[in-house]
């Protein structure tokens, strides 16, 4: 006796599952190739950002498919908020150092270069490789 299929659980077609598998294989091949090519550039960016102070990578949360959270990393393009800058100013009593309020939205030189060139998103390729994001599809499951 055949069992009735539940109406709320549609069965994926063979064509759709093949398309999802091909999309995943394409994502893996493209992201692995781009990671291999851009690894020296990413290593250099990490060293330069660490020399500016603070973290080199920042975590980002994005909703790739409605209801599913995708986490990935980006290179830090802004300054660190905990570092205060000082300026030498002349006041009534003589020369003094005055604190300039640190603004974390001001880009560092390395961060501005990465943001202008679009290379700040290179660490996203690791999220594509792990399956959280997709290059060829629209989301995690390729739907």
Per DSSP bridges, beta strands 68-75 and 85-91 are unpaired
Count of domains in the chain?
1
Q: Give a yes or no: residue 100 inside a domain.
A: no
Pull the structure tokens for residue 26.
């394409």
Residues 137 and 50: their CA atoms lie apart, in Å, by: 34
> What is the Cα 116 distance to its own chain's centre?
15
Q: Give a yes or no: residue 24 inside a domain.
A: yes
Nearest in space to 34 (alpha carbons), one of 142, 143, 137, 136: 136
**Domain span including residue 48:** 16-76+109-130
Q: Give a yes or no: residue 98 inside a domain.
A: no
| Per-residue pLDDT tens digits for 27-63 | 999 999 999 999 999 999 999 988 877 788 988 887 7
Q: What is the pTM of this model?
A: 0.67
Q: Give a yes or no: residue 84 inside a domain.
A: no
Q: Give a yes or no: residue 4 inside a domain.
A: no
Q: Residues 95, 100, 104, CA angle at the centre, nearest 5°? A: 160
pLDDT of residue 16: 82
Q: Give a yes or no: residue 141 inside a domain.
A: no
Helices (H), 53-118: 109-117
């Amino acid at each position: 006796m055949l069992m009735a299929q539940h109406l709320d659980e549609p069965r994926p077609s063979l064509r759709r599952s093949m398309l999802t598998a091909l999309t995943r294989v394409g994502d893996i091949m493209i992201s692995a190739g781009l990671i291999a090519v851009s690894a020296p550039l990413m290593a250099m960016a990490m060293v330069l950002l660490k020399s500016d102070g603070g973290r080199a990578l920042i975590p980002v949360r994005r909703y790739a498919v409605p209801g599913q959270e995708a986490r990935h990393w980006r290179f830090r393009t802004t300054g660190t908020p905990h570092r205060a800058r000082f300026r030498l100013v002349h006041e009534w009593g003589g020369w003094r150092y005055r604190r300039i309020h640190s603004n974390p939205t001001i880009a560092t030189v390395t961060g501005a270069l990465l943001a202008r060139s679009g290379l700040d998103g290179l660490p996203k390729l690791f999220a594509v490789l792990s399956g959280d994001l997709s290059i060829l599809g629209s989301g995690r499951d390729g739907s």
